[in-house]
Amino acid sequence: MLGQKRVLIGIGGGIAAYKVCDLISQLFQAGAEVRVILTETATEFITPLTVSTLSRHQVYRDLDFWRSTNPRPLHIELGEWSQILVIAPLTANTMAKLAHGIADNLLTNTVLASKSPILLAPAMNTEMWQQISVQKNWEILQENPRYHCIGPASGLLACDRFGTGRMAEPAEIKLFIASLLTTEGKKDLQGKQVLISAGGTREYLDPVRFLGNPATGKMGLALARAAVHRGATVTLICGPTQLDFSDSLNNIRFISVVSAAEMAREMFAVCDDADLIVMSAAVADVKPAEYSSTKLSKNSLPSQLPLDPVTDILAQLGDRKSERQILVGFAAQTGDIVKPAIEKLKKKRLDAIVANPVDRPNSGFGSDTNQAILIDSKGRQKQIEPRTKLALAHEIFNFIADL
């Protein structure tokens, strides 16, 4: 998603500038071409040499802007060159300038001279962040379709306080950049409520044994990120997972569940508000008929396990779905993936289904990449070759946009 893409980064004067060095390195390693503008105050925190070494290119500063010997103005050159502009850390000062169209240095002039999407990653002390003037400027920028916003997160700040103001983590910013390069910054899910289920459920036999599956939640988290990056408000209901969701949760309402019954209860509690529901979770089909609240000894384990069916959440969502809702299911399959997926699509009254082969390399449970055949209720089919789960998530949202 990042290979050979032209990413322009504007670094503002804040301590989080040191974290942007890691972002530049990650982008370079992912194959992107990176150019960097340093504001004058940013040079108080990191050196031009650090940035030029990491980006493998000269760094641009206000000195280069005012004393340029190029026939074409530098802000126009850089503005036209960039496919995306990232401003990190975004200071209260630069935020105020952007909100009001002020251009008094290389970075703010380049913003006005470019057409590419702009990702803003603010970072500042909590008191500064909470100022009415800062919040008003932030609102203005969020309403502008050109700007995309990530963070700030809460945590320990450089001023030794715990509070809101930490810049989003470089890995999370990198994923947002990848999304914006894929969608060209369209916010087609702006104002939409998206409900996503993820991971696998566990059906416990006793406190230490359960029936489960290897789902990790990676596909569901990728769907949640992609939806947020396209402007949606997202609720993610996820089974037990080892994933560290903390960096991405800023814009995602996260509900953790264990069993299929819990997932069903949480899904049904919020589904009526959703415009789009994607059931990517690998939900149990059956559970042990009896649960022992104390651990069963080896000798008392039954040789055959009586099972009861569990609620088919997706089928029930299909039954209660309203006209305006779009319902998407997943079919994790081995062998022929299309025929069973079409049967599920019809049986559960879905608008679309993601037929997902789980018996191929680099695909399915736990993998960072995935592939699928997307099928809709009108009979359309689209094959998606292996790619990152985030890229597949965008393909799914592109596919259902026509619905």
Binding residues (CB under 6 A) for ligand CTP: these are 260, 279, 281, 283, 285, 310, 312-314, 329-332, 340, 344
CB of 218 to ligand CTP, least distance (A): 15
User: How far is 299 from 293, CA to CA, in rounded Å?
Assistant: 16
Residue pair 79/110 in contact by the 8 Å Cβ criterion:
yes
Which element (helix H / strand E) includes 77? helix 74-81
* 54-80: burial string, b at 16+ Cβ within 10 Å, e else: bbeeebbbbebbeeeeeeeebbebbbe
Closer CB to ligand CTP, 228 or 310, in the complex = 310
- Cβ-defined contacts of 375-379 (< 8 Å, 24+): 375/338, 375/341, 375/342, 375/345, 376/345, 376/351, 376/352, 376/400, 376/402, 376/403, 377/345, 377/350, 377/351, 377/352, 377/403
Which two three-digit tokens encode residue 6? Answer: 């032209």
Cβ 280 to ligand CTP, closest distance in Å? 7
CB 124 within 8 A of CB 91: yes
Residue nearer to ligand CTP on the CB measure, 20 or 283: 283
CB 86 within 8 A of CB 122: no
Alpha-carbon dihedral 48, 27, 140, 79, rounded to 10 degrees: 70
Query: Measured from the CB of residue 190, what is the shortest distance to ligand CTP in angstroms?
Result: 26
Q: Which residues are catalytic?
A: 159
* Alpha carbons 274 and 281: distance in angstroms, whole number: 17
**Minimal distance in Å, beta carbon 331 to ligand CTP?**
5
* Alpha-carbon span 164 to 129, nearest angstrom: 7
Nearer to ligand CTP, 124 or 314 (CB): 314
Between the alpha carbon of residue 67 and those of residues 62, 70, 71, 113, the distances in Å are 8, 9, 12, 18
Q: Cis link prior to 145 (omega < 30° from 0)?
A: no
Cβ-based nearer residue to ligand CTP, 11 or 223: 223
What tokens does 343 get? Answer: 């049967």
For residue 231, the minimal CB distance to ligand CTP (Å) is 24
